[in-house]
A and B are shown apart, each in its own frame.
Chain A
């Protein structure tokens, strides 16, 4: 079955540590996205990638980094520079930027 997989579902981080969230898709989609969702707020775009080896900052990229070395993978690193990392992180993909997005089930990140 084709789909988009995020792992882990829950993640805990100590202050000062970097942590990487995984996002893999086998839909052969060119575009991939990372969003952050906080209680009472809409999703906010962190980074997106329209094609392999290319990515663009979204509205809240500070404290995050991404890579797109393979079409099917778009990992997100939450660095120690991100001062408020506790949130629900959603990854999505689409055939291209003009097409509907398919979402993963999300990763909930908490700070210990």
Chain B
């Protein structure tokens, strides 16, 4: 059983499209992270959320604590957004659970 489930697993979009990636989790969490992993393997932290909504440039992350669900939105998608997006949750003091990622390809 995976504590963190992401959907979709794979996503292909045309440049300019609005993209949504979903994350559901099964435990009560301290914080939720959205990460971006590029083809070379390097990972960048995009957001850390414990409630509400955060926005950075074309990226928006929301979380609903009651429904145990978070979404990552990308507006006006661009080919450079192509990457794997990973949802991760921290539970308690030392439990970290990661989703398997959503592989996004944005076509020019």
Interface residue ranges, A against B (CB under 8 Å): 33, 35, 37, 40-45, 48, 56, 58-59, 88, 90, 92, 97-106, 108
Contacts and interface: CB of A to CB of B under 8 A. Distances in A.
A112 B88 CA distance: 32
Nearest to A33: B96
B98 A100 contact: no
Contact of A98 (B31, B43, B97, B98): B31
Contacts of B31: 98
Contacts of B99: 42
B42 A105 contact: yes
A43 B33 contact: no
A102 B45 contact: yes
Interface residues on B, range: 20 to 34
B97 A105 contact: no
A43 B88 contact: yes
A91 B77 CA distance: 29
A8 B22 CA distance: 34
Nearest to B98: A42
B57 interface: no
B100 A42 contact: yes
Interface in B1-20: 2, 4
Nearest to A37: B41
Contacts of A56: 94
B48 A43 contact: no
